[in-house]
Chain A
Amino acid sequence: MRTIVNNLRLFWQGTLLSYIALFAWLRPVTYLASKIVMPLAQMLFFTFLGTFATGRGNAHFYVIGNAIQIAAVSGIYGVTFSIGGDRWAGTLLYLFGTPANRLVMFFGRAFMHIIDGALGVVVAFTWGVVLLGLDLSHTNLPALALTITAATISTCGLGLLMGCLSLITANVMFVNNTVYFALLIFSGANVDISSLPVFMRAISYALPLTRGILSARLLIAGKSLSEAMPLILGELGIGLIYGVLGYFLFMWFEVVAKRRGTLDLV
């Protein structure tokens, strides 16, 4: 029982402190610019581009896709920086020196970003309704909330894997930016996946967000939760796979870094 309590405390403290550490040096205005205004501007850009391409009638396709895509801002950048931040701040050494449960410590890094990311998607949908006329009147809102949560969890899973990569590369921003922008193509946020070549479609379905976006589009079109459920479960499954892969990579890096004495190398 005591172990469970200790692990829960470790999970909560780890999640809270890593999140505070990430944003402590930023001011609220930076958060506002990066998490509220930038996603809105991105959503507007792709929606206008989409309506230029296919007509105003299809605006909802781009609004929904890009609103769900916002989950990747927290999932990719936030989680990666939370994990990689320990290396840059020089605290990785102490972290690996503790006997703390690695599983709890590792997944704890993503928890706040799931909440933060889901909130970002909700804000994006609000922009969509207020500014771009997105109609949610036929939508099962609890099911949409479930989809948003699943999409955020799955992008955080990918973020955990990429966070581990940030422990071995100096070009974290390059990797993060490339993955984030690649998701704009492959997730189906802006392009109908069925119009992509077969190999690109295969990549799409191996990535987070794809099923989440499809599920959100189904639900907003008035479909029921049961129809979207396979997609939601698939989205969660993808996120879990990436998260577990990241965890094993994290464990492996610890062993290798300790053996080579490269824990504090930046």
Chain B
Amino acid sequence: MNFKNLFIYWRTVLMVAEMTIRQQLNDGFVIFTILFQPMIIAILGLYMLKDKGPEYAMFVVVGSGLTGLWSSLLFISGNSISWERWGGMLEVLVGVPTPFEVIVFGKNLANVIQSLLSMIVAYIFAALFFGYSLNIDQPFLFIVSLLLSVFAFISFGLTIAPVFVMYRGVQQWQNAMEFPIYILAGFLFPIALLPNWTTPISYILPPYWAARALHGTSTIGASVEQTLLAWGMMILFSIIDLLIASWLFKVMLYKARVDATLNTE
């Protein structure tokens, strides 16, 4: 993706995000993915980790919010191009002068932002129903981590959507890709519990670095160096993801035009 486009078309990005949020908040599946599922996981997490002490409540709040972010990215952002195709809008969107990836970026921005609701819901739930007093250890660093996480998730989502469109075989694994990332990214427990051979896989996942930065600044009391490392990795992966996405979008649109499949499966 051409970074300049994000600045040139910032109004388009915001408009697409607004329209996407308006449209999706009427969709039961989206509501479930961003609110109900993370809330249920938060309740489970709070019950399961209650013997570890109240300090883990914030860990669960952040972790369950991250599960909402990932599920939303996988199912909603992942299908964002396919849904336009099924709705007959893909031809129009590709035909307009605005670069298509800018439009998908706006859609992903909406998905990720609305997914942050899951963290807020989990926070309220833990505070009201479980009576936990929830504090963020390093509020400023947490907010920066959150912003970088949003950008990292959007960028990651930009690589997933065209892959799902071009390779139906990959999309068929969509259902099976949800929990493995919860595990490998360490959303609700440290990856040290996993076998050693899985660690390199975690390291190449942007959600892992997002979880590390968010848990580190909210609960674990990470050092500034550790937080900076997580931020650096998120920025690095975001750049790599955007470059890959740019190439994937070109290939996808070229293939769809050649095969005349912009409006068909």
User: Chain A interface (Cβ within 8 Å of chain B)?
Assistant: 27, 29-30, 33-34, 37-38, 41-42, 44-46, 48-54, 170-171, 173-174, 177-178, 181-182, 184-185, 190-191, 195-196
Contact = CB atoms under 8 A, between A and B. Distances in A.
Interface in B33-47: 36-37, 40-41, 43-45, 47
16 contacts: A29-B169, A33-B176, A41-B176, A44-B179, A45-B182, A48-B194, A49-B45, A52-B190, A52-B193, A53-B51, A173-B32, A177-B29, A184-B44, A190-B47, A191-B47, A196-B47
Contacts of B172: 27, 29-30, 33
Contact of A41 (B43, B45, B48, B179): B179
Contact of B32 (A29, A177, A184): A177
B156 to A, nearest CB: 19
A190 B32 contact: no
A190 B44 contact: yes
A53 B50 CA distance: 8
A242 to B, nearest CB: 21
A177 B179 contact: no
Contacts of A41: 176, 178-180, 183
Contacts of B190: 52
A173 B28 contact: yes
Interface in B82-126: none
Contacts of A174: 28-29, 31-32, 36
A196 B43 CA distance: 11
A16 B77 CA distance: 36
Given A174-B29, A174-B31, A53 B52 contact: yes
Contact of B44 (A54, A178, A191): A191
Nearest to A50: B48
Contact of A49 (B37, B175, B180, B189): B189
Nearest to B172: A30
B236 to A, nearest CB: 27
A177 B48 contact: no
Contacts of A181: 36-37, 40-41
A182 B37 CA distance: 9
B76 interface: no
| Among A29, A49, A185, A190: residue with most chain B CB under 10 A | A49
A76 to B, nearest CB: 14
A42 B178 CA distance: 9
Contacts, number: 89
Given A33-B173, A34-B175, A48 B193 contact: yes
Contacts of B47: 185, 190-191, 195-196
A53 to B, nearest CB: 4
Nearest to B49: A53
A53 B48 contact: yes
Given A53-B51, A173-B29, A182 B40 contact: yes
Contacts of B178: 38, 41
A182 B41 CA distance: 9
A30 B36 CA distance: 25
| Among A52, A177, A178: residue with most chain B CB under 10 A | A52
B36 A49 contact: no
A205 B119 CA distance: 30
| Among B37, B45, B48, B180: residue with most chain A CB under 10 A | B48
Contact of A37 (B40, B43, B52, B176): B176
A127 to B, nearest CB: 13
Nearest to B174: A33
A192 B4 CA distance: 54
Given A33-B174, A54-B51, 10 more contacts: A33-B172, A45-B179, A46-B44, A49-B189, A50-B48, A51-B193, A52-B193, A53-B51, A171-B29, A191-B48
B210 interface: no
A171 B33 CA distance: 13
**The 3 A-B residue pairs with the shortest CB-CB distance in the complex, in nearest-first order:** A174-B28, A171-B28, A41-B179
A143 to B, nearest CB: 28
Given A52-B49, A174-B28, A177-B32, A45 B183 contact: yes
B131 to A, nearest CB: 13
Nearest to A36: B176
Interface in B164-201: 169, 172-176, 178-180, 182-183, 188-190, 193-194
